[in-house]
Amino acid sequence: MNIRLRIEKAEKNNLSQYAMLSQNSKGRKSFEEKCTMRTDFQRDRDRIIHSKSFRRLKHKTQVFIAPEGDHFRTRLTHTLEVAQIGRTLARALRLNEDLVEAISLGHDLGHTPFGHTGERVLNELHPRGFNHNEQSIRVVDFLERKDDKIGLNLTYEVREGIINHSGKKTSNTLEGQLVKYSDRIAYINHDIDDAIRAGVIKRESLPKNSVEILGKSHGERINTMILDIIKNSIEKDVIKMSDDVGEATNALRDYMFQNVYLNNNAKSEEYKAEYVIEQLYKYYFKNIDALPQEHLKIYKNIDCDIEDIICDYIAGTTDRYVVNLFNNIFLPKPWQKY
């Protein structure tokens, strides 16, 4: 029995005319025989989940650097919330859930330690700049290794959705467009939740117009955003929000930038994180051979700029790992001979 063919047939019969069918994928960079159980997008999802880069997300900052509280989001829990929102939307709109899930789970694989702080520092240091969505593609195409194979060899549609999940460009698939909205819905709302828990903002300080339109609670706001997207996107060739809900959502996002993302209290440790990343980058630029041999062997017989090698390494570390790395390199060790 070929289960994959049965799933592909069900997709063709049940999904929207605007959905991306697994059988219509543009395929992979390197040819692979089809799986008899899973569609190509299901295989991509599984490869991402089993990757080292995915596991490291559990110790990477979402907003609050290296949070000690058990209930604060990390980059991993953010990713899971994006996937959950995305699948809810995809099912309602009769789009390809597996493609949405694969894009969602892979969209932040290239994120740096210390969240957007780390990304900003590497962007300033690297002559060509650094963006986490582009780094996510570099992770799945080149940096991830299994059984000596280079990259995860993901499908075109998953890779295209990952690189276009942020920035001004729009994905060619509705599934990719949907993930971009899911990402925004997730981070705005869970960052509000975390900021309230941290005492950085108060619930009653949220923009009144946004609260009136979207709802007072975390769940109400997410529900309103999801229902609005469904109402305005069902059986259409584009994913969108209504003007009212879109403006209310953007107002919340602007509020978060002013009061949380750029807040001096919330970001009081940020300058230290910037210093750690900057000093490590400069150290390895002068001492490239000090990088682990396991990392350096990735570039054997490959023409690669030193800046890329360093950024690949630093971006792949977690918050606590990069702090320990800094301590081991720059802080004196006690004399232990007795």
Mean pLDDT of 310-324: 97
What pLDDT sits at residue 309?
A: 98
What pLDDT sits at residue 338?
A: 63
What pLDDT sits at residue 269?
A: 83
Mean pLDDT of 84-111: 98
pTM: 0.96
Can you give the three-state secondary structure of the chain, one letter per residue?
A: CCHHHHHHHHHHHHCCCCCCCHHHCCCECCCCCCCCCCCHHHHHHHHHHCCHHHHHHHHCECCCCCCCCCCCCEHHHHHHHHHHHHHHHHHHHCCCHHHHHHHHHHCCCCCCCCHHHHHHHHHHHCCCCCCHHHHHHHHHHHHCEECCEECCCCEHHHHHHHHCCCCCCCCCCHHHHHHHHHHHHHHHHHHHHHHHHHCCCCHHHCCHHHHHHHCCCHHHHHHHHHHHHHHHHCCCCCCCCCHHHHHHHHHHHHHHHHHHHCCCCCCCCHHHHHHHHHHHHHHHHHCHHHCCHHHHHHHCCCCCCHHHHHHHHHHHCCHHHHHHHHHHHHCCCCCCCC
Tell me: pLDDT of 171 over 80.
yes
Q: What is the mean pLDDT of the chain?
A: 95
Percent of the chain past pLDDT 70, that is, above it, reads 98
* Tens digit of each residue's pLDDT (9 = 90 or more) over 196-235: 999 999 999 999 999 999 999 999 999 999 999 999 999 9
What pLDDT sits at residue 337?
A: 67
What pLDDT sits at residue 237?
A: 97
CA 41 – CA 57 distance, rounded (Å):
21
Six token digits for residue 278: 């900057």
Q: 156: buried, middle or exposed (CB in 10 Å: 19+, 13-18, 0-12)? A: middle
Mean pLDDT of 12-34: 97
Mean pLDDT of 94-115: 97
What pLDDT sits at residue 202?
A: 96
Tell me: pLDDT of 56 over 90.
yes
What pLDDT sits at residue 312?
A: 98
CA 166 – CA 183 distance, rounded (Å):
9
CA 173 – CA 286 distance, rounded (Å):
43
- Which pairs count as long-range contacts for 317-321, CB under 8 Å and 24+ apart, including other chains? 317/56, 317/113, 318/56, 318/58, 318/59, 318/60, 318/113, 319/59, 319/60, 319/61, 319/65, 319/66, 319/113, 319/114, 320/59, 320/66, 321/59, 321/113
What pLDDT sits at residue 268?
A: 76
Tell me: pLDDT of 40 over 90.
yes
* Tens digit of each residue's pLDDT (9 = 90 or more) over 226-282: 999 999 999 999 999 999 999 999 999 999 999 999 887 767 788 999 999 999 999
Mean pLDDT of 62-76: 84
What pLDDT sits at residue 262?
A: 85
Those residues whose C-beta lies under 8 Å from the C-beta of residue 57, and which sit 6 or more positions away, are 74, 75, 76, 79, 108, 109, 111
What pLDDT sits at residue 82?
A: 98
Mean pLDDT of 151-171: 97
Percent of the chain past pLDDT 90, that is, above it, reads 91
Q: Are the CB atoms for 256 and 188 separated by under 8 Å?
A: yes
**Range in 60-74, 109-123, 309-323 with the lowest mean pLDDT:** 60-74
Q: How confident is the model at residue 66 (pLDDT cuts 50, 70, 90)?
A: low
